[in-house]
Amino acid sequence: MAEMEIDVRGQTCPVPLVECRKALKKASPGDLVIVKGTHPASRKEIPMACEAMGLTVLEIEDKEGGKEWEIKIRR
């Protein structure tokens, strides 16, 4: 299993979601995709999109006192 990290800090919608989807398409089943961002709406939209795609969101973690977030997704 591979691990892929997507850094979309400072980006606003729809960039974080688009970059996340690109990474998930490239990932193999079982791979871990870690998305790091700052945009509050993307923190909500990315997990909803992943669940709609049938993927497992392993963790959503707030960082830097809530200014940043990290979402871990299992492909």
13 annotated active-site: yes
Over residues 23-68, the pLDDT tens digits come to: 999 999 999 999 999 999 999 999 999 999 999 999 999 999 989 9
Report the domain count for the chain.
Answer: 1
- Kindly give the residue spans of alpha helices, DSSP state H, lying in the chain: 15-26, 40-52
Domain CATH for 40: 3.30.110.40
Task: State the residue range of the domain holding 65.
Answer: 1-72
**What's the confidence (pLDDT) of residue 75?**
95
pTM of the predicted model, to two decimals? Answer: 0.94
Looking at residue 27, the DSSP 8-state letter turns out to be S
Marked catalytic residue, from 2, 13, 18, 58: 13
